[in-house]
Amino acid sequence: MGELAALELEHKAAAVRAQLAGALGQHGRLVYSNSLGAEAMVLTDIIWSYLPQIDVFSIDTGRLYEETYELLEKLQRRYQRTIRVVYPDARALERLVAHQGVNGFYHSLEARLECCRIRKVEPFKRAIAGFSAWITGVRREQSPARARGQAVEWDAEHGLYKISPLLDWTEAEVWQYIRARRLPYNRLHDRQFPSIGCSPCTRAIQPGESRRAGRWWWEQPESRECGLQPKAPPAAVPA
């Protein structure tokens, strides 16, 4: 990376730090939903290096790749900090498997969304309870729905603000930051997995496919979200 590109990247990283510091002052209790993806490496580095008072959690759905668990351990060793890991409700999960089977989510969109609800959405709601704003690593490039997002918006579904500090970052900038800071990352990224979720629902992408084509690949593109990100344009910020 050239000197000019390095300066531009540091400027963008400084803007993220300033945005999050300002959000702490405005909203008080902030929580970061760490997906353990490439963008998460950038935000984890910024938060744990400069703003450690921000709470960081990650959801273990019980179906993650082994490489994802390895990354979780590497992160905690590097920063000597602990990510708060949140799990699905055991009884709800038992009922889901009894009703659908182990991989019943392949059979219909409704079944898949119910699996995501129990394994991801409900744990997420528990994890953000009591906080004033949550932080996400989504970027405009990732999908048409995410392109409509705002850097700060009211998340009406969950009743708190949603902050997206990397919204206008490019994928190239994310990886420039990771390499410049020598950050750990999920080894699956080196095997054509730009977006990584649960192992049964994520595959490597093929040449020419979109960056999120490997997520829930058997569904239509417009349905390929887990339920954490808004499906409609952002709601007006409450007065």
Q: Which of 116, 198, 201, 226 is catalytic?
A: 226
pLDDT band at 144 (very low <50, low <70, confident <90, very high): confident
pLDDT tens by residue, 169-210: 999 999 999 999 999 999 999 999 999 999 999 999 999 998
pLDDT of residue 226: 57
- Beta-sheet pairing, 133-135 with 152-155: unpaired
Q: What is the CATH number of the domain that holds 96?
A: 3.40.50.620
Q: Which pLDDT score is estimated for 228?
A: 62
pLDDT at residue 224 in the model? 57
Residue 102, in any domain of the structure: yes
Using CA atoms, how far apart are residues 19 and 15, in angstroms rounded to an integer? 6
Six-digit token string for 105: 């989510």
Domain range for 186 is 3-191
Please report which confidence band the pLDDT of residue 5 belongs to, taking 50, 70 and 90 as the band edges: confident
Do 88 and 118 form a contact (C-beta atoms < 8 A)? yes
pLDDT digits (tens, 9 = 90+) for 110-121: 999 999 999 999
**Residue 13 clears pLDDT 90, i.e. is over it:** yes
Residue pair 65/196 in contact by the 8 Å Cβ criterion: yes
Q: Are strands 152-155 and 160-163 parallel, antiparallel or unpaired?
A: antiparallel
User: What is the pLDDT, as a whole number, of residue 239?
Assistant: 41
Tens digit of pLDDT for each residue in 18-36?
A: 999 999 999 999 999 999 9
32 pairs with which residues across the strands?
56, 135
C-alpha 118/C-alpha 96 separation (Å) is: 8
pLDDT (tens digit per residue) in 212-229: 889 888 787 655 565 565
Q: Residue 202 domain-assigned?
A: no
Domain count, the chain: 1
pLDDT tens by residue, 65-111: 999 999 999 999 999 999 999 999 999 999 999 999 999 999 999 99
- Under 8 Å CB-to-CB from 184, ≥6 apart: which residues? 41, 71, 74, 75, 78
Q: Does residue 44 belong to any structural domain of this protein?
A: yes
The CA-based angle 195-196-200, given to 5 degrees, is 130
**What is the pTM (predicted TM-score) of this model?**
0.88
Task: Specify the DSSP element, H or E, that contains 150.
Answer: none
Tell the burial category of 145 from Cβ atoms under 10 Å away from its Cβ (0-12, 13-18, 19+): middle
Is the model more confident about 239 or about 183?
183
Q: Is residue 107 part of a domain?
A: yes
- Whether 226 is catalytic is yes
**pLDDT recorded at residue 232:** 47
pLDDT of residue 151 exceeding 80, the answer is: yes
Q: What stretch of H or E contains 57?
A: strand 55-59
Q: Is residue 198 part of a domain?
A: no
Domain annotation covers residue 54:
yes
For residue 3, pLDDT over 90 is answered with no
Inside any domain, residue 196: no
Domain for residue 159, yes or no? Answer: yes
CA–CA distance from 197 to each of 17, 30, 112, 135 (Å)? 27, 24, 13, 18
Q: Are 201 and 65 in contact (CB under 8 A)?
A: no
